[in-house]
Amino acid sequence: MKPEAPPAAAPLPGPLSHVRVLDLSRVLAGPWASQNLADLGAEVIKVERPGAGDDTRGWGPPWLKDGAGQDTRESAYFLSVNRNKKSITLDLSRAEGQRIARELAARSQVLIENYKVGTLARYGLGYADLRDGNPGLIYCSVTGFGQDGPYAPRPGYDFIFQGMGGLMSITGERDGQPGAGPQKVGIAITDVLTGMYASVAILGALIHRERTGQGQYIDCALLDTMVAFNANQIVSYFCSGRVPVRWGNAHAQVVPYEVFATADGHIILAVGNDGQFASFCQVAGCAELADEPRFKTMSQRIVHRAELIPLIAGIMRTRAKQEWIETLEAANVPCGPINNMKEVFDDPQVRHRELRIDMPHPLGGRAPVVASPMRLSATPVEYRHAPPLLGQHNEEVYRGLLGKSATDLEQLKAAGIV
């Protein structure tokens, strides 16, 4: 049950409103982490290349529409992971840019970067270079393979880690079925999960910092993340010695738990225990199956999967999708539709939870973003700024935070440093 809201009062500042994050990351994993921190109130200063910015700014179409309904050059991909941040431009490959980055790091509590191993150290921006001037700095590096080991120098992408980390070996239709073969997940899940782990690690380091005053170094690797993500399958392998295989939409230890065709579409049937199976059989008009020794218990249903599933498949085709969903939900049998993205946001529960947020954008119109799933009762997530234009906050950061004059800033612009 959702707790009752406390009496109306002035909103509290976000739990990380006292934290400044210097975000030297780009694309997805690092920006996912920094957006989480920004949603929790942190001031996130996103450092981007002059004239180009984060790679994902150019990953369109689709593009954001302006107030007149025309395409801008702000990509939907960039919008998805950069809200609540400030954007500055800075050339980190130049000595003056590196000096400015050190000034910013000295005024920050957290730094996030996802450069190849050793790159920022060559710029004088590694953890060892910055911690003396800021012992409380939490420095989070996100790389493909981590900071050490034989693969550390290699670049890496999500698709590679879905394969290397074992996920694709258990994702896709099972052998012997039409379309059998390994399959990647439809989003860059390794990047997203690494961003989540990085967020958690940074929060832990912030608690340590507030107790001791000391920062620390965080080494997040996409390969490590994907292996950790597969933990339940991996530990099953450790215990049994049997290498997990692909099950398609089925489940290795739960039956029936897969997608079934109905008279007019498909639904997910997820029967997690014997009571639910008996309820399913009752409303499906096949109560005798629940008393059949081959199917009465989960362990027997697993053993006799090949006999049971065709029987259920035939029954499921006799009614329409919505009729099944309403009937099964009324009987407390877990089930659900397979929605496309339009249908997701037509769903009444999704609408009630307000999972779409439209934020005013500096180019006019509104930037649509997906709401944070973090729901805090006292310090809720605030949607303060739309994903920024490239260099939108140069004036605020360089003049307000670092104290540079208008002339200084013009000179830096003329030299291509910012």
**Catalytic residue ranges:** 191
Among 82, 75, 8, 5, CA closest to 39: 82
Q: What is the DSSP letter of 12?
A: P
Which residues are CB-neighbours of 119 under 8 A, at least 6 positions away? none
Among 33, 71, 338, CA closest to 186: 338
Tokens of residue 352, six digits: 């009630």
Phi, psi of 222, deg, nearest 5? -65, -40
Contact 101, 90 (CB under 8 A): yes
**CA separation for the pair 171, 388 (Å, rounded):** 37
**CA separation for the pair 88, 398 (Å, rounded):** 9
Contact 140, 201 (CB under 8 A): yes
**CA separation for the pair 135, 319 (Å, rounded):** 66
Residue type, 209: R
Percentages helix, strand, coil for the chain, rounded to the nearest 5?
40, 15, 45
| Residue 329: Cβ within 10 Å count | 12
The residue whose two tokens read 């939900």 is 329
Q: What is the separation of C-alpha 289 from the centre of its chain, rounded to a whole number of angstroms? A: 41
Contact 240, 302 (CB under 8 A): no
**CA separation for the pair 44, 84 (Å, rounded):** 7
Contact 358, 65 (CB under 8 A): no
**CA separation for the pair 388, 357 (Å, rounded):** 16
- 342, HSE (Cβ side, Cα atoms, 13 Å): 0
Find the length of the chain. Answer: 418
